[in-house]
Structure 1
Amino acid sequence: MTVHTGGCHCGNIRLGFSTELDPPQIEIRACQCSFCVRHGSRAIADPDGRLVISVKDQARLRRYQFGLRTADYLICRECGVFVAAIARDDEARAIVIINALDDRERFNQEPIRVDFDAESKAQRQARRRTHWMPVEMSFG
């Protein structure tokens, strides 16, 4: 497994994205919802990989929800960086935002524009269970 590290600008949130895939093998998605468009979001996930999120100061972590409220969009309150999204269903699953990775330039293929606005809550949860990756969070 290769671990791609990263985090927010101020260092409060650190990321470790583990995958056996090389960056060109990972599909990059550019969600077209208004939140992701405004953040210039390019997201990746490996269902066979794992994302580890470490937060130093939980008070400086913002969990933003919108739309169907099926995921927490993680943003640092201190520096404003959007780092990941976590869906909580039977098991927590996540995507990581490429711009928050230290080696983001390795993920340079053209993103696929996706629009999930027409999905029902059940469809969205099913898609995330299939395409997003396991995640663990630690604090302190």
Structure 2
Amino acid sequence: MNEHTGGCHCGNIGLRFSTERDPSQIEVRACQCSFCIKHGSRAVADPDGRLTISVRDIARLRRYRFGLRTADYLICSDCGVYVAAITGDDTKAIVIINALDDQKAFSREPLPVNFDGESREQRAARRRLRWMPGEISFD
């Protein structure tokens, strides 16, 4: 199992992405929504992997929702780093490789993706297939 760790700049939010796959073989997606563009987001997920998000101070964890409001975009309210997105039921997630310590290991060219035309049902189905199991724990 490969473990990739990271988190926000101030250390309030920690990340542990576990996968059997080599990071150079994982598709990197660059969502083209206005939120992700403004953050320079590059996201990865392995449906057979797992993302664990640990939070020291829940009061400093910002969950931002927009659009269809089907996922929480996790941002540290102190340092402003966007670290991950997780479905509203906290079961499926993506990790933002910009927040990983070894982000350069994810060497594939980001694939621009646009999900603007999806319905709520289509978006949920895509995430069930392509996102990975995720969980948030509080230290």
| TM-score (normalised: structure 2) | 0.98
Equivalent in the alignment of 2:78: 78
Task: Write out per-residue CA displacement over residues 56-82 of structure 1, whole angstroms, 9 at most, x where no aligned residue.
Answer: 000000000000000000000010000
Equivalent in the alignment of 1:134: 133
* CA distance in 2: counterparts of 1:101 and 1:74, whole angstroms: 14
1:25 aligns with 2:6: no
State the Cα distance separating 1:54 from its structure 2 match: 0.3
State the Cα distance separating 1:105 from its structure 2 match: 0.8
Equivalent in the alignment of 1:41: 41
Equivalent in the alignment of 1:106: 105
State the Cα distance separating 1:25 from its structure 2 match: 1.1
Structure 1's unaligned 5+ residue stretches are: none
1:94 aligns with 2:86: no
State the Cα distance separating 1:8 from its structure 2 match: 0.2
What secondary structure does 1:128 align onto?
helix
* CA distance in 2: counterparts of 1:83 and 1:26, whole angstroms: 18
* CA distance in 1: counterparts of 2:72 and 2:40, whole angstroms: 17
Task: Write out per-residue CA displacement over residues 70-99 of structure 1, whole angstroms, 9 at most, x where no aligned residue.
Answer: 00000000100000000135x710000000
* CA distance in 2: counterparts of 1:107 and 1:25, whole angstroms: 8
Equivalent in the alignment of 2:116: 117
Task: Write out per-residue CA displacement over residues 25-46 of structure 1, whole angstroms, 9 at most, x where no aligned residue.
Answer: 1000000000000000000000
State the Cα distance separating 1:109 from its structure 2 match: 1.5
Structure 2's unaligned 5+ residue stretches are: none
* CA distance in 2: counterparts of 1:56 and 1:47, whole angstroms: 26
- How many pairs does the alignment contain? 139
Matched to 1:135, the amino acid is G
Matched to 1:97, the amino acid is I
State the Cα distance separating 1:136 from its structure 2 match: 1.2
Equivalent in the alignment of 1:63: 63
Root mean square deviation, CA, Å: 0.9
State the Cα distance separating 1:24 from its structure 2 match: 1.3
| TM-score (normalised: structure 1) | 0.97
Q: Report sequence identity in percent.
A: 72
Matched to 2:66, the amino acid is F
